[in-house]
Chains A and B, each alone.
Chain A
Amino acid sequence: MAGSQAIFGTTPFDGTVAMRGYALNRMCFSFNSAENRETFRADEEAYMRAYGLDEAQAEAIRKRDVLGLLAAGGNVYYLAKFAGILGLDVQDLGAAQTGLTKEAFKARLVAQNDQPETL
């Protein structure tokens, strides 16, 4: 997508990414079902094979590597369902992606209050 490289630390989830990540996102979408979450927990490898994840996607799932999951085409809305299985919230994800501790990431959010009030 034109201009998609222009924003630091951001990859718009466009058609190219959506095609690359389809199997991974389809698996994560299945985690809306509690039964599917249990099946995944019982045998992650078998579950990933059933959904046809490629090696990069499977490796990022094994490592709980959030940036790796995004690079492999994961979309944050579906990945959030995987994070839910792990008991992680969006501050955990934010910390993992920025290299901060969770406390430091939360402090950085609070510090946004110090921004100016006018454009």
Chain B
Amino acid sequence: MARIVGALATSHIPAIGGAIARGLQKEPYWKRFFDGFDRPREWLAREKPDVVAVFYNDHGLNFFLDKMPTFAVGAAAQYRNDDEGWGIPTLPPFKGVPELSWAIIDHLIANDFDIVTCQEMLVDHAFTVPLKLFWPDGDAPAAVPICINTVQFPLPSAKRCWAMGRAVGEAIAGWDRDLKVVTIGSGGLSHQLEGQRAGFINKPFDLKFLDTMADDPEWATQFSVLELVEKTGTQGVELINWLAARAAASPGPMRKVTQTYHIPISNTAAATLVLEPA
């Protein structure tokens, strides 16, 4: 049976993709942020996961408001990146693992998560940036993209994202392959791009959230989406991707391998987290 060996999470700010493309990792503005990936990469080199399930949010590359799924699961052999309109270079395609995609889809729908399935799915920076950060040489494992709507309200609640993540974790654990899987939550932490409140960051909330991820991971599910917007900003609400990835890895305590928190990258409180089974 497949085995989940860890849960990873990181911010996915587009500027990170730009910095990678321009080779700015050692520049003063970026160094501390990129150096934070040394330990995750050491951990990944040791664990050597075969497959990754990425929980992320599309920002208007694959999905538009004409059809906006709350949850969408990719079921393709390959996922293409493409022009997002503002200048980060398009990356080569990422490998899919359709067999696991369908195992997840079957299990989700059997458990009343009526998701959208996608045999073609463009993946934007929220999917590609974490894979480039954790696997900078482009050798990321085959992936299953799981997209959560954070664009158009109503968004799914934190509690619902946790439950969906749990069901994905059950599907992975029941997948009849002797392979190692990691989950990734993409986005956050606190930031707000639009309105007079642009630039909002909530350091104490972010640090509390990071603290709870190992031992009390359902803490943030007590909040409604609007409460999360108030506490973390309109884009900070992307932490629902972290909750889903964390839930998929384990319902109980996990051990924190490493964590970073850095204000600001672009307009965002940037964070990275690696958890392994307790």
Contact = CB atoms under 8 A, between A and B. Distances in A.
Interface stretch (A1-9, A46-54, A55-63): A1-9
Given A8-B197, A81-B86, A26 B64 contact: yes
Interface in B215-244: 226, 229-230, 234
B259 to A, nearest CB: 13
B26 to A, nearest CB: 20
Contact of B201 (A3, A112, A117): A112
Contacts of A3: 226
Nearest to B66: A26
A6 B226 contact: yes
Nearest to B237: A12
B234 A67 contact: no
Contacts of A7: 197, 226, 229-230
Interface of A: 1, 3-4, 6-15, 18, 22, 25-26, 28-29, 31-34, 37, 66-67, 70, 75-81, 83-85, 89-91, 93-94, 97-98, 105, 108-110, 112-113, 115-119
B195 A97 contact: yes
Interface residues of B, number: 41
A12 B234 contact: yes
Report whether over half of chain A's contact residues are helix, strand or loop; otherwise say mixed. helix
A14 B152 contact: yes
B266 A91 contact: yes
Contacts, number: 142
Contacts of A66: 194
B266 A90 contact: yes
A58 B126 CA distance: 30
B263 A109 contact: yes
Interface string B71-95: 0000000000011111100000000
Interface string B188-203: 0000111111110111
